[in-house]
Amino acid sequence: MKIIKKIKSCVRKLLLIVITLSSLQLYAQKISNEFSIYAGGGFSRFIYKSPASPALSNGFNGEIGVGFTAFFSQQCGFHFGAGISMLNLKVNVGDLYTFSPNLTDSNERIFDLYTTLSGYNEIHKTTALSFPVMFQFQTKMKQKSSWKKSQKATYYAMTGLKLQLLLQRSYDAQVTSLYNAAYYPEADNWAATQTFVGLGDFLGKDRDGKLSVGILVKYAFETGFKWHIGERLCLYTGVYLDLALNDPAKKFRKPVSDYIFVEQLTNLALLSFYNNSVLFEPGIKVRLAFIRPPKFVPCR
C-alpha cells in the first residue's frame, strides 16, 4: 500500500509539471517538442565502506525506453520518459568478523563467541520500470568534422531524477566457510574444535532468494552532443551517470552479529556488511529524437 501511495504521489507531481509547462508554452506561443526513443548501457558499481574489507563490486546495467522533451526556450526544456531498466551486479565482500559476548552454553557457562564468515558475496538481478524526469540545457556549437558538410552539432546536458519501480529483484548470497571460536573468561580457555556444538570450521552454502517490490530513486546526469541530421530529426550521443539515493534491499539485511550459528548456513540471508554505500552506474546512451513541427527549431 505504501508503494501505491508513493506512485500516486509521483504521478500527481508529474501531471502538475506537465500542466505548468503546457501553460508556459501556450503563453510564449513557441512550442517545440521532441519525441524520442533511447537505449543505453554501462557498468555498475556498489561502493561500500566496510571495516573488514572495503572494495568495489562488478556488474552491468542497461535501459531502453521512449521520451518526450518539452522546450520552453531555445536552450531549455524538461524531459520525461518511460522505459525498462536492467541490472546485474556482483558484490564481493570477502571476510566478515563478528563478536558476540556473554553467551551461555548448555552447562550455563558464560562464553564469548568469535565468528568469521569467509568469502561472502552477493549477486543481484533487477528488472524495473524507469521514469526519468530531467531538466535539459543545450547550446549551439559548430562542428567541422561531421556526417555532412556544414552540419551543426549541439552540446547538451541533462540532470534530474529517475524513479524506478522494481518489478523483479532476485539475489544469490554465498559464503565459502564459517568459523566459530568460543572463549571462556572464567577458565581463560578457548574452544574451537567441538563441531557438535557449532564450534570449528564449516563449509558454506549459497541461497537464491527474491526481494519484494520497491522503489529506487536515482540522481541522473547526462551530457554529450546532439546531431541535427534532418529538419525534424536529431541524434543524441552522450554519456550518463546515475547515483542511487536509497537502497530498497536495506530493510532485508541482517546484522553480521546475528549470524553466529551453523544452522544459519542453510538459511543464508543478506547481511548488513557496510557502513556507507552508494550504487553508481556510468555508461553511454544513444537517443533518436523526432521534432514536432515547431515555430522554431531549438539551437539551429
pLDDT > 60? residue 242: yes
pLDDT > 50? residue 143: no
Grid coordinates given for 36: 524520442
Q: Mean pLDDT across the chain, nearest whole number? A: 80
Burial group, residue 199, by CB count within 10 angstroms (0-12, 13-18, 19+): buried
CB-side exposure of 132: number of CA atoms within 13 Å? 29
Q: For residues 19 and 145, what is the distance between their CA atoms, to the nearest angstrom?
A: 40
CB-side exposure of 176: number of CA atoms within 13 Å? 10
Rg (CA), the chain: 26
Averaging pLDDT over each range in 24-33, 147-156, 157-166, 198-207, which range is the top one? Answer: 157-166
Going by the DSSP 8-state scheme, the letter that residue 20 receives in this structure is H
- Which alpha helices (H) appear in the chain, and where do they start and end? 2-28
pLDDT of residue 277: 75
Strands 58-71 and 32-49: antiparallel
Coil, strand or helix: which one is 9?
Answer: helix
pLDDT > 70? residue 190: yes
Coil, strand or helix: which one is 297?
Answer: coil
Answer with the residue of higher pLDDT: 236 or 99: 236
Taking residues 136-161, what's their average pLDDT?
A: 71
Kindly list the domain boundaries of the chain, sorted by start residue.
2-291
What are the CA-CA distances from residue 102 to residues 6, 99, 246, 255, 259 (Å)?
A: 44, 10, 35, 18, 16
DSSP codes joined into one string, 85-137: EEEEEEEEEEEEEEEEEEEE-TT--EEEEEEEEEEEEEEEEEEEEEEEEEEEE
Q: Name the band, by pLDDT with cuts 50, 70 and 90, for residue 104.
A: confident
Q: pLDDT tens digits for 24-74?
A: 444 444 556 889 999 999 999 888 776 656 566 889 999 999 999 988 887
Assessment of whether the complete model's pTM goes beyond 0.85: no
Report phi then psi at 9, rounded to 5.
Answer: -65, -45
